[in-house]
Each structure stands twice: as structure tokens, then as C-alpha cells.
Amino acid sequence: RALALVPGTLAALPKRQPAWRDIAVVVPRGTTHDALVATIRSAGAPLLRSATLFDVWAPAAPGPGSGLAEGERSFAVRLEWG
């Protein structure tokens, strides 16, 4: 049986291969995910395809040795460039 092509379902191939990078950003505890992702997207346009939060970390006891100061947390974000 032959495959039928459905009009309008084909798209041009991308000119660039996608690349993924994971970054961790230390932010004040009051910073929202939406605000961070909006800032990343505006800075990465037009090459940034997506920014996805995949981890939030805050130490149980912030201060020396924890890597973060009081009132900070770390957002890990996966960036897809292409």
C-alpha cells in the first residue's frame, strides 16, 4: 500500500543542528521561574529554541561551604540552541 502525502504537513529542514547546554543560575530566593526563563529567552533570541527548568536547589543550611548565600537558590536550565 502506498503512503499518501497530506498537503501542508511538510516543513523545511533546519539550517542548523540543535545543540543543548545545561546551565545553573544562582538567583535571589524571590526570583520566579517565569521571570528567569523570560530573561533567558529575550537574551538568546533568535537562536534559542527553548529554555526548560529541570532543577531547583537551595541548601538546608546556607552559608559558608554550601556554595550559596542566605536567601539564594540555584535554578538549573536546559537550553536548546538551533
**The pTM is what?**
0.75
Collapsing DSSP states into helix, strand and coil, what is residue 11?
Answer: coil
Bridge partners (DSSP) of residue 26 are: 74
Using the predicted structure, report yes or no on whether residue 59 has a pLDDT greater than 90: no
Q: Looking at per-residue confidence, does 24 or 65 come out higher?
A: 24
Residues 81, 13: Cα–Cα separation, whole Å: 15
- Which class for 68: exposed (0-12), middle (13-18), buried (19 or more C-beta within 10 A)? middle
Residues 74, 68: Cα–Cα separation, whole Å: 8
Q: What is the arithmetic mean of pLDDT over 31-40?
A: 94
